[in-house]
Amino acid sequence: MLWNLFKFEPKPYSEDFLDTDDGHHVYYRQFGNPQGIPVLSFHGGPGGSSRPKYAKLFDKHKYRFIQFDQRGCGLSTAEDVWRNNTTDFLLKDAIGILEKLRIKQKIVVHGASWGSTMALLFAEKYPDLVQKIVVSSVFLAREYDVNWVNEDSERFYPDLWAVMRQKINNKNVYDTYHKMLFADDLQTNVEAMTYLGSYEYMLGQLNPQFTPPEELNEKELLSRRIAFKYDEDKYYIKENQIIVNTDRIKHIPTLIVHNRLDFCCPCKQAWDLHQVLPNSKLIINAGFGHSSPELLKIVKDELKKEE
């Protein structure tokens, strides 16, 4: 039954684009009650796209759920997808959407994974606009957190790392596959997507296997390129920026939900966040994987308790 909870996606009541002054056309959509409490939701990635299923976490009668595709992602388009494609400009787009929708009241910010990073950064930059923070599968984007995926996870997946190294003659894994991902050769792109491009999605699996994509989808290739670019540039934020700036949001009620065995973003990130936010509630779900129906149900049930 948990699987059925998020099987059917809700339909938006409104869809539109925010046209920026630097050539980006940022797609956004709204669900629920147009007069309800605004929820601004940030999707995962970087390079991912908005998912309507997250609107089902929030009561459609009580909330006005707004989600958008970040620059270069999903249905968003651009004259130059790389122009001003940084975290600060994503936050600027979020404000631009709120202004276009003429939302004056305080909002709820929501996000999972990279979306949690963005939600926290938004709240810290605009604390006076936020009444509540709801995050899950927390990613704090510290060097410590990034190194888990890029280096330390090899302790659990030495066989996968051996394959990745063998394919590139034992060169530096990240530097080499990064160049392959941005190469102008289609087959080289496929190789990068097959190996390091898919590695992060295997974390937590007990019997992972590298499998070439059936076909190279241009959107999927761009998605991974955006992810690698943000990773390479340290997500365009200062080291430990979120934790350092939590004084700005310590008064805001915050819900944090995380799977115990999240091999993509280990649980300590949620724990560290909870320790510096006295008005936060942390729920560690006895589950595995970066996300799961059980984890989403906890978020939904916790929000329902507030009604």
What's the whole-number mean pLDDT along residues 71-76? 98
What's the whole-number mean pLDDT along residues 169-191? 94
DSSP codes, the chain: -HHHHTTSPPPPSEEEEEE-TTSEEEEEEEEE-TTSEEEEEE-STTT----GGGGGGS-TTTEEEEEEPPTTSTT-EESSTTTT-SHHHHHHHHHHHHHHTT--S-EEEEEETHHHHHHHHHHHH-GGGEEEEEEES-----HHHHHHHHTGGGGT-HHHHHHHHHHTTT--HHHHHHHHHTSS-HHHHHHHHHTHHHHHHHTT-SS------SS--HHHHHHHHHHHHHHHTGGGS-TTHHHHTGGGTTTS-EEEEEEEE-SSS-THHHHHHHHT-TTEEEEEEEEESS--HHHHHHHHHHHHHT-
pLDDT of residue 307: 63
pLDDT of residue 5: 61
Tell me how far apart the alpha carbons of residues 118 and 225 are, in angstroms, rounded to a whole number.
19
Domain ranges of the chain: 2-141+238-305, 146-234
Confidence of residue 4 (pLDDT cuts 50, 70, 90): low
User: Which pTM value belongs to this model?
Assistant: 0.96
Has 43 been annotated as catalytic? no
Structure tokens at 265: 């973003």
Has 113 been annotated as catalytic? yes
Catalytic residue selected from 262, 274, 280, 292 = 262
pLDDT of residue 133: 98
pLDDT of residue 8: 79
pLDDT of residue 299: 97
Q: Is residue 301 predicted with pLDDT exceeding 70?
A: yes
Confidence of residue 217 (pLDDT cuts 50, 70, 90): confident
What's the whole-number mean pLDDT along residues 110-137? 98
Confidence of residue 266 (pLDDT cuts 50, 70, 90): very high
Catalytic residue selected from 24, 110, 258, 290 = 290
DSSP codes, 186-229: HHHHHHHHHTHHHHHHHTT-SS------SS--HHHHHHHHHHHH
Catalytic residue selected from 41, 113, 291, 292 = 113
Q: Which residue has the tokens 């991912």?
A: 48
Of 68, 60, 62, give the one whose Cα is nearest residue 18. Answer: 68
Has 110 been annotated as catalytic? no
Confidence of residue 261 (pLDDT cuts 50, 70, 90): very high
Tell me how far apart the alpha carbons of residues 255 and 95 are, in angstroms, rounded to a whole number.
22
pLDDT of residue 212: 87
pLDDT of residue 6: 63
Of 22, 21, 38, give the one whose Cα is nearest residue 30. Answer: 38
Q: Which of 122-126, 149-153, 214-218 has the lowest mean pLDDT?
A: 214-218
User: Which of the two residues, 217 and 232, has the higher pLDDT score?
Assistant: 232
What's the whole-number mean pLDDT along residues 266-291? 97
Q: Is residue 245 predicted with pLDDT exceeding 70?
A: yes
- Over the chain, what is the mean pLDDT? 95
Would you tell me how many other CB atoms lie within 10 Å of the CB of residue 19?
Answer: 11
Q: Is residue 3 predicted with pLDDT exceeding 80?
A: no
pLDDT of residue 306: 77
What's the whole-number mean pLDDT along residues 280-300? 95
- CATH numeric code, 2-141+238-305: 3.40.50.1820
